Amino acid sequence: MVGEDVVHRPVLREAVNALAAARPGERWVDCTLGFGGHTADLLRAGASVTGLDQDPEALARATASLAFAGDRFRALRANFRHVASLVDGPIDGILADIGVSSWQLDRPERGFSFSARGPVDMRMDPEAGETALELVRRLSETELAGVLATFGEEPFARRIAPALKAFAAGDGPHDTSTMAAVVAACLPRKVAATMHHHPATRTFQALRIAVNDELGALDALLEGAPALLAPGGRCLIISFHSLEDRRVKQRFAALSGRVRPQAPRRGLPPPVSDADPPAFTLLTPHAVVADDAEVERNPRARSARLRALKRRPAPSESDA
């Protein structure tokens, strides 16, 4: 079966299961269903799960593989940015594995990969929004350089942007492998020779993030998801690059009271807060990462970062 490896070996599986600690009767939301690897474990623990995904093929495959759970599983085709309006709280857990699945990366027709020839697409939902090629054509050279620098942290953004504009305006071929070669040609040879990844990696990441508004969706999830949690509810988020992880870290720190008040001026202590205790507890003081054995089995796990948060019981419950 295509996707079997994805189903049975989700990233950071053991850590996710330990932090989720799902129990029979609990209600969970998997915001990034994919082929349902993490959801399968939640269902086997006895929980009920609503799975969200933008990709209709992923939803179909997950629905088939998770049929063993019966009505404890339902699938919704949706962007996780809308979770607060799609799910009625309170719920016991929220899980999100942010990023592109290995299956999507390996499909040339999806346009995520620079190692195989495919359309310059990069949409998570293949039926909605503009493609990466359309984005490049629409943005000005300055705007495009900003996208590459901000979302890809690409130091050569100003060199690459005009080359991409020329590529998009030319006669073609307009495919991912040609675009990757255009990007690679913009980098100094000495720099490209020392890279441990393809020279177009940062550019492809930036365009993918921009096409799918991934950071905007993550911000919406971080804003809306915590309010859905019941007392004792857990929120687990796996990210794959620093732009995402930084947002998760900062939001979780704020919710758990890890952000200290600013001192009025240098040399003075911060003001004593009379605010109520934070409503959440941070379950992961540091991001959980894959061990060497998992990275060897799944190189994609190398960049995975897992952070988790738990809503504290209501005061009346904790005092009881």
Structural contact between residues 26 and 51, judged by C-beta atoms closer than 8 angstroms: no
Q: Can you tell me the distance from the alpha carbon of 11 to that of 290, in angstroms, rounded to the nearest whole number?
A: 8
Identify the burial level of 271 via C-beta atoms within 10 angstroms of its C-beta, where 0-12 means exposed, 13-18 middle and 19 or more buried.
Answer: exposed
Q: Can you tell me the distance from the alpha carbon of 74 to that of 48, in angstroms, rounded to the nearest whole number?
A: 9
Q: Can you tell me the distance from the alpha carbon of 175 to that of 171, in angstroms, rounded to the nearest whole number?
A: 11
- Residue 136: predicted pLDDT: 97
76 phi and psi angles, rounded to 5 deg:
-125, 130
Q: Please tell me whether the peptide bond between 56 and the residue prior to it is cis, using omega within 30 degrees of 0.
A: no
- Residue 320: predicted pLDDT: 44
Q: Can you tell me the distance from the alpha carbon of 286 to that of 308, in angstroms, rounded to the nearest whole number?
A: 10
- Residue 299: predicted pLDDT: 83
Q: Can you tell me the distance from the alpha carbon of 58 to that of 33, in angstroms, rounded to the nearest whole number?
A: 8
Closest alpha carbon to 306 in 214, 254, 225, 244: 244
Structural domains for the chain: 4-97+215-258+268-319 (3.40.50.150), 110-212 (1.10.150.170)
For residue 309, the one-letter residue type is L
- Residue 264: predicted pLDDT: 62
Buried b (16+ CB within 10 A) or exposed e, 194-210: eeeebbbbbbbbbbbbb
Residue stretches of the chain with pLDDT short of 50: 1-8, 318-320
The model's pTM is 0.86
- Residue 311: predicted pLDDT: 96
- Residue 185: predicted pLDDT: 93
